Amino acid sequence: MVTGKSDISGWLVRPARWHLWAGLAAVLGALTVRTVLVTSGGGMDNAIVVDAARTWLDGGSPYDDRHFLYFPSAVMAAVPPALLPRSVLDVLGPVAAVLALALGWACALRLHRVPLGSRLAALGLLGLAAGFAPFGQLVRLGNWTVTAALALPLCLLLASRGRWVAAGAVIGVAVALKPLLAPMALLFLFARRWRALAVLVLVPVAASVAAALFLPDPTGFFTRTLPFLLRGDDAFLRLYEASPAVVLPRLGVPETPAVVLAALAAAAGVVCAYRRWRGPGPAPLRLAETSAGLMLSAFLVSRPSYNHYLLVVLPLLLAGLPYAGSVARRPWFWLALVPQLPGVTWPWLESPRRRAFQDAVTLCVLAVTVSYHCVRGAREEAGPRGTPGERRPAVESA
């Protein structure tokens, strides 16, 4: 990391004055209070999970609601919130969402060895909250994606310090709550961390099997939810999905070629992510950019795939800005985020039901930018400066 006065990194990593922290507190406070005032049940998506737990407590099946797309373990995790009065949940949901996103940002900063009191710490979170529309949408929805937004940087922080088994446990718990981070198993496969990979798999499997034993339909996830996800025949959800496999058919492309094209793009992204893992560069960057490549590749084909999923990878990449060779220093990284500027209305996309088109642009441009950087950026970095292979043991040590 460059910290000299001649580079922007030096300015970013210096301590932030109280004015920045006051501005950040004002923005986060306003977002939280506004969400408390306009939402119920902690947000629409949080209410789906909590209501599923309430259904189970009343003797019904959580999978009677086809929009409940979680493992049985999530039902048990939602029981404590289900026992709270809705007035308490209305406050607790938005507060918990903002805290999870802030803690995830803090873990991303520490992964890259950026001080938590730095200007980047304050400005980065301020930029995400005020300048990236999915941040506010995620808080208002109360979607459990916030668990993944915290778990991924925490996992990589642990892995960067050689604690791979603990990192696997973190991903395992996150998958038990919401299966969004399941593609991260490939990182442990790349690193050949078999014990950590076993923990990652066993934690959600054991939790879901144990929880399923208490449900009236133990196989509900496989008999109802999984076929629903594979068919993708929900007209309402389809309008908000950003995956090219969903967006291209809305533009007139036949469904089968669209799915094949998205799958090929995802496979190419995984190959690029592997190249980044095997390539040169500081350990934190290799971990962050490999993981971002894997997750973005998954978002290209996953059902569903929403714009707020980007908050799982964006903080990891943004926190690497002080590194001269980071993807956050590529212009296309920032151009990809332009469609997500709050308050900007794009022609012919005024309707909320057409928002998926601009979300798809952000996802695809960001995925291509990260994949290109994984293959070419690391090579460019290694060229004039030499391959910093001596830094790799910090990541791969036991």
pLDDT in tens, 324-351: 888 999 999 999 999 999 988 888 887 7
Confidence label for 221 from pLDDT (cuts 50, 70 and 90): confident
What's the mean pLDDT in 161-169?
96
Give the closest residue to 164 by CA, choosing from 283, 310, 280.
Answer: 283
Query: Residue 231 pLDDT more than 80?
Result: no
Residue that is written with structure tokens 């930029």 in the block? 127
Phi-psi label, residue 282: left if phi above 0, alpha if psi -120 to 50, beta otherwise: beta
Phi-psi label, residue 42: left if phi above 0, alpha if psi -120 to 50, beta otherwise: left
What's the mean pLDDT in 33-42?
90
Task: Say what the pLDDT of residue 348 is.
Answer: 81
| pTM of this structure | 0.91
Task: Judge whether 15 and 118 are in contact, CB under 8 Å.
Answer: yes
Question: 63: Cβ–Cβ under 8 A, 6 or more apart, which residues?
Answer: 52, 217, 220, 221, 224, 225
Query: Residue 387 pLDDT more than 60?
Result: no
Confidence label for 225 from pLDDT (cuts 50, 70 and 90): confident
Task: Judge whether 308 and 141 are in contact, CB under 8 Å.
Answer: yes
Query: Residue 164 pLDDT more than 80?
Result: yes
pLDDT digits (tens, 9 = 90+) for 166-201: 999 999 999 999 999 999 999 999 999 999 999 999
Percent pLDDT > 70 in the chain is 91
More confident residue, 66 or 178: 178
* Tokens encoding 22: 């006051």
What's the mean pLDDT in 309-314?
96
Residue that is written with structure tokens 């799982």 in the block? 312
State the Cα–Cα distance between residues 279 and 135, nearest whole angstrom: 32
What does pLDDT average to over the chain?
88
What's the mean pLDDT in 17-33?
95
Confidence label for 219 from pLDDT (cuts 50, 70 and 90): confident
Task: Say what the pLDDT of residue 380 is.
Answer: 57
* Tokens encoding 299: 């978002």
Query: Residue 5 pLDDT more than 60?
Result: no
Percent pLDDT > 90 in the chain is 70
Name the least confident of 1-10, 235-244, 309-318. 1-10
Confidence label for 9 from pLDDT (cuts 50, 70 and 90): confident
Q: What is the 3-state secondary structure (H, E, C) of the chain?
A: CCCCCCCHHHHHCCECCHHHHHHHHHHHHHHHHHHHHHCCCCCHHHHHHHHHHHHHHCCCCHHHCCCCCCCHHHHHHCHHHHCCCHHHHHHHHHHHHHHHHHHHHHHHHHHCCCCCCEHHHHHHHHHHHHHCHHHHHHHHHCCCHHHHHHHHHHHHHHHHCCCHHHHHHHHHHHHHHCHHHHHHHHHHHHHCCHHHHHHHHHHHHHHHHHHHCCCCCCCHHHHHHHHHHHHCCCHHHHCCCCCHHHHHHHCCCCHHHHHHHHHHHHHHHHHHHHHHHHCCCCHHHHHHHHHHHHHHHHHHHCCCCCHHHHHHCHHHHHCCCCCCCCHHHCHHHHHHHHHHCCCCCCCCCCCHHHHHHHHHHHHHHHHHHHHHHHHHHHHHHHHHHCCCHHHCHHHHCC
Query: Residue 125 pLDDT more than 70?
Result: yes
Query: Residue 311 pLDDT more than 90?
Result: yes
State the Cα–Cα distance between residues 378 and 267, nearest whole angstrom: 20
Task: Say what the pLDDT of residue 40 is.
Answer: 86
Task: Say what the pLDDT of residue 378 is.
Answer: 58
What's the mean pLDDT in 244-265?
92
State the Cα–Cα distance between residues 57 and 48, nearest whole angstrom: 14
Alpha-carbon distance values, 213 to 38, 74, 217, 262 (Å): 37, 13, 9, 37
CA 359 to chain CA mean position, Å: 15
What's the mean pLDDT in 75-95?
93
Confidence label for 207 from pLDDT (cuts 50, 70 and 90): very high
